[in-house]
Amino acid sequence: MTDFASLVAADRGQDARTIIAVSQAQATQFVNALGEAGRAAVAAAGFSGKQDTGLFLPGGNGRDWSYAVGLGAQPAPGRWTLATAAAGLADGCYRLVDTAGAALPAGSSVHGWLMAQHRFARYRKSDDARGNRQLLLTDAGGIDAALAEAMAAAQIRDLVDTPAEDLGPGDLEAAVRALAESCAGRVTVVSGEALIEQNFPAIHAVGRASPRRPRIISLDWGDAGRPLVALVGKGVCFDTGGLNLKPGNSMALMKKDMGGAAHALALARLVIERRLPIRLKLVIAAVDNAVSGDAIRPGDVIATRKGLTIEIGNTDAEGRLVLADALALAGEAGPALTLDFATLTGAARVALGPDLPAMFTNDEALAGEFADAAIACEDPLWRLPLWQNYRSLFSSTIADLNNNAESGFAGAIVGALFLEHFVAAEVPWAHFDLFAWNSTARAGRPKGGAAMAIFAALKVIEGRFAR
């Protein structure tokens, strides 16, 4: 893991080069105040304060220099403002200032600074010979929170980027146990044939074709008597599609099908590190969706922990099957709030693209809280409806439900409605159908695993239970 603590420090007047934050509204006045060399540099680069842009500015003596970063239309630095700077600058010490030269609080922009310097180096050494770029913070009281958020996002990236060869159900279990050891949490694991004995039949059915035993992993943390928050994650470590085998181009990224589990785990880490006054129950269903003589077949009918039966219309709609048992287990503990995270449907990506997680919820107040938190945290998401009329799309003539819709319409909504069967109606619940992946590289956000919606979720949990 990147040593994030070495990348920030309290500003005590140390020598440092300046990073100048320039909005588009300030750009003309800022440029006019520069010397001839600075104006020439701006003209050559076409710098106008646009977001995600940066520019080296020469000093008057030919040796000193500073760096301007664009804020776009924002009046203050945002979550990714400093990512471009951190990616492009030489090693050394830096101070963020406004166009008048006064030190600025970095706020949420520390996140971009840190994440731009994170590297997933398990399989290849970084070819970046630079040392650390350290940011001096006037608002040093937020360092611990910024470091915790960076570590959570980095954990998601690293888990999602790890190939399935090195990240199976047992490795997800090890990651949960590592968190439990750091916080005196209690871990319970049911795996293999014990899933049948202890009534997790859907998880067993999906994972039984793999030599890596399927399992349900549960971590409990916090004091009795406090409100319970349940976090549930889909941990399909590799998804071949089962007997409804995916074509090769659709299988290429299926190491990331455990992205929901990575998100639930990282959010649990943040809740614990903030010592929020709640009880926490983290539940991860960890399986491979493999092909063998023991694989579930289209047309099979399987049981679930809740007692509902499911006809298998498509073995590639396996995520909702394992989440059915996981959500049922989480609900038995009597949560005051349940959040689940899953790379569930391609339909959500068709509707919203790769950057916007789809959120579904049965609670209007919760929907409003997430909408506000997403804006406040610059952690975007978009609500889609639990349109009840579509429940008929996954009906079955021989079982309670079919895991596959009769048509190709409204796939993300159908997936969420399916999951709703396994959540108690009186429990506020939100489901996040997310991509967990950056398809194109941007400063601070390389191609690969990506954290989505966890900072908005943390803010909602804090708002509900830490007042």
- pLDDT tens by residue, 349-396: 999 999 999 999 999 999 999 999 999 999 999 999 999 999 999 999
Q: What is the pLDDT of residue 61?
A: 63
Beta bridge partners of 56: 67
d(Cα 315, Cα 299) in Å, to the nearest integer?
9
- Is 320 a known active-site residue? yes
Contact partners, residue 394, CB within 8 Å, separation at least 6: 313, 401, 402, 403, 404, 405, 406, 414, 417, 418
**pTM attached to this predicted model:** 0.97
Which residue carries 């040796």 as its tokens? 63
**107 shares a domain with 223:** no
**43 shares a domain with 9:** yes
Q: What is the CATH number of the domain that holds 121?
A: 3.40.220.10
Beta strands 92-97 and 228-239, pairing class? unpaired
**243 shares a domain with 268:** yes
**19 shares a domain with 167:** no
**166 shares a domain with 128:** no
How many structural domains does the chain have?
2
d(Cα 2, Cα 121) in Å, to the nearest integer?
9
Q: Which two tokens stand for residue 365?
A: 């107040």
Long-range pairs for 98-105 at CB < 8 Å and ≥24 separation?
Answer: 98/20, 98/21, 99/20, 99/21, 99/22, 99/26, 99/29, 99/30, 99/33, 101/18, 101/20, 103/11, 103/138, 104/21, 104/76, 104/77, 104/138, 105/137, 105/138, 105/139
- Is 95 a known active-site residue? no
Closest CA to 202 of 344, 403, 26: 403
Q: What is the CATH number of the domain that holds 235?
A: 3.40.630.10
Q: Model confidence at 408, in pLDDT bands (50, 70, 90)?
A: confident
**42 shares a domain with 170:** no
**172 shares a domain with 38:** no
Which residue carries 């830096």 as its tokens? 94
**301 shares a domain with 228:** yes
Beta bridge partners of 219: 187, 282
Q: Model confidence at 109, in pLDDT bands (50, 70, 90)?
A: very high
3-state secondary structure of 337: strand
Report the phi/psi class of residue 208: left, alpha or beta, with left for phi > 0 and alpha for psi in -120 to 50: alpha
Q: What is the pLDDT of residue 14?
A: 94
Q: What is the pLDDT of residue 406?
A: 82
**163 shares a domain with 111:** no
Catalytic residue among 208, 320, 349, 459: 320
Catalytic residue among 246, 274, 383, 391: 246
State the residue range of the domain holding 93: 4-138
Helices 259-273 + 169-183 axis angle, to 10: 0
- Give the distance, in angstroms, between the CA of residue 346 and the centroid of all CA atoms in the same chain: 17
- Give the distance, in angstroms, between the CA of residue 404 and the centroid of all CA atoms in the same chain: 26
**337 shares a domain with 239:** yes
> Is residue 103 a contact partner of residue 33, using CB atoms and an 8 Å limit?
no
pLDDT at 22 over 80: yes
Tens digit of pLDDT for each residue in 50-74? 999 999 999 866 578 999 999 999 9
d(Cα 300, Cα 318) in Å, to the nearest integer?
13
Q: What percentage of the chain reaches a pLDDT higher than 90? A: 94
Tens digit of pLDDT for each residue in 286-304? 999 999 999 999 999 999 9
Last residue of a domain, one of 76, 111, 138: 138
Last residue of a domain, one of 138, 165, 194: 138
d(Cα 143, Cα 8) in Å, to the nearest integer?
8
Q: Which two tokens stand for residue 223?
A: 């004091």
Burial of 342 by CB count in 10 Å (0-12 exposed, 13-18 middle, 19+ buried)?
A: buried
Q: What is the pLDDT of residue 62?
A: 58
**158 shares a domain with 114:** no
**97 shares a domain with 227:** no
Which residue carries 């099979």 as its tokens? 300
Q: Which two tokens stand for residue 407?
A: 């048509």
> Is residue 240 a contact partner of residue 246, using CB atoms and an 8 Å limit?
yes
Q: What is the pLDDT of residue 221?
A: 98
Last residue of a domain, one of 138, 162, 188: 138
